[in-house]
Amino acid sequence: MTNQLLAILDLDGLDVIAHLVNFLILVVVVGFLVYKPMVKLIHTRQDSIRKQMEEGKEQMKNAEALKEEYEGMIAKSAEEIALKKAEAERETAMESDAVLQNAKAEAAKILEKAEEEAKEEKAAAIADMKGDIVSIATMIASGILSREITPEEDAKIIDDCLNEWSEQ
């Protein structure tokens, strides 16, 4: 049957062998020129991708570590801020208490001074009144002693003395 097929294709045995040799040469040449460089390129690309994946994983680990570090720093900063805020509030409260105490002390001093001044003014007024009372009593007594007086005249002398005293 192979003879019949060769006869139909108008090929003889030598042509078939030549075609097979040509095909083998083509496969070998294509293998060297195309297949091996292509396989080498694919392996190189696979190695490059594998290396990039490893570097990506390494960078991801580094990024996670940095993220944790920054989150820790943020938490620490938040704690420090809270502590400083509490300290500032304490200092403000202490300062306001001190200002309030100073104000109370000043108010007490002012009240004490006002009371002393009032006492002094009262004493001066009493001293003035004593002098006025003495002069009024003297005027009344001199009016009474200068003559014999009835109760109506006595009331008139007292009224006159009081009027004179209020004018002074």
DSSP 80-102: HHHHHHHHHHHHHHHHHHHHHHH
For 124-168, the pLDDT digits (tens) are: 877 777 666 666 666 666 666 666 666 677 677 777 777 776 676
| Domain enclosing residue 110, as ranges | 2-167
Question: Count of domains in the chain?
Answer: 1
For 29-66, the pLDDT digits (tens) are: 888 888 888 889 999 999 999 999 999 999 999 999 99
Q: What is the 3-state secondary structure (H, E, C) of 28-84?
A: HHHHHHHHHHHHHHHHHHHHHHHHHHHHHHHHHHHHHHHHHHHHHHHHHHHHHHHHH
